[in-house]
Amino acid sequence: MYEYAYAVGTLYGLAIWALVYRLAPGSRQVMLWAGCLTTWMGPLFEYWNHRDYWRPEYFLPIRWGSWTFGLEDLLISFVCGGLCAGFFDLAARRQGERELAAIKPAGAARFLLVLLAAFLAVSLFISLFRCNSVYATAGVASAWGAWFLSRRPRWIVPAMLTVLLSGTLLLLSYWGFYFRVFPEVFERWWLVSALSGLMVLGVPVEELLWAASSSLFYGPAFRYYQDQGRQDFLSRKKPSQ
């Protein structure tokens, strides 16, 4: 039964993604591009997460030496990147930001590069300081997200709304669905020794920390690199007006 649990959770996430995509036409380009560009991060981060955080069961595992991942990792990363960027885009547009109707390839390439840089930073953090992979990921993502917000302070409110929405969605999904369908999944997959022991409705606080830091990073990062050239032009133009 539990060899299908990750696949079921992934399908649940894809259903949520599809619902948001259907209800938010103005954010569809953002959700598609951000999701596709973040897809590869799932398998990479599993290299570290399997060592010190959790060991999910895959329907069709892919193994390369000590590195194990599955199709579920690719899809759940697509869902996470797309939803976080989509939620932020919705909140930002409600605050008056323009719709990203056409995605700039150069901005997408910069976003991809910063994703790679973030993974390398997390890897360096883990290797040098021997800290838990989830805490390292949350720290790097939060710091980078804070940098983007320092460059665009008007995005602070949309970012906080995105953090709240993403965290609440993950909490309710675990508590109201996943742990009901698979009641022993926590004991089977998570390495209890790596957790703080703090729980919210039976959900490890580390999972909420991961959701919050991911949403703080993905949404602002994607829009920042799509708007970067335009904002720099407006900043140069404004003093002369």
pLDDT digits (tens, 9 = 90+) for 16-69: 999 999 999 999 999 999 999 999 999 999 999 999 999 999 998 999 988 999
**CA 87/CA 159 separation, integer angstroms:** 9
Closest to 98 measured CA to CA, from 215, 238, 226, 216: 226
**CA 1/CA 42 separation, integer angstroms:** 23
From residue 120, alpha-carbon distances to 11, 29, 125, 206, 226 in Å are: 29, 27, 9, 21, 23
One-character DSSP codes across 70-103: -HHHHHHHHHHHHHHHHHHHHHHHHTTPPP--S-
Question: How large is the average pLDDT for residues 210-222?
Answer: 95
pLDDT digits (tens, 9 = 90+) for 79-101: 999 999 999 999 999 999 999 98
**CA 200/CA 211 separation, integer angstroms:** 14
Q: pLDDT value at position 233? A: 37
From residue 157, alpha-carbon distances to 143, 151, 166, 223 in Å are: 17, 14, 14, 15
Residue 235 has pLDDT above 70, yes or no: no
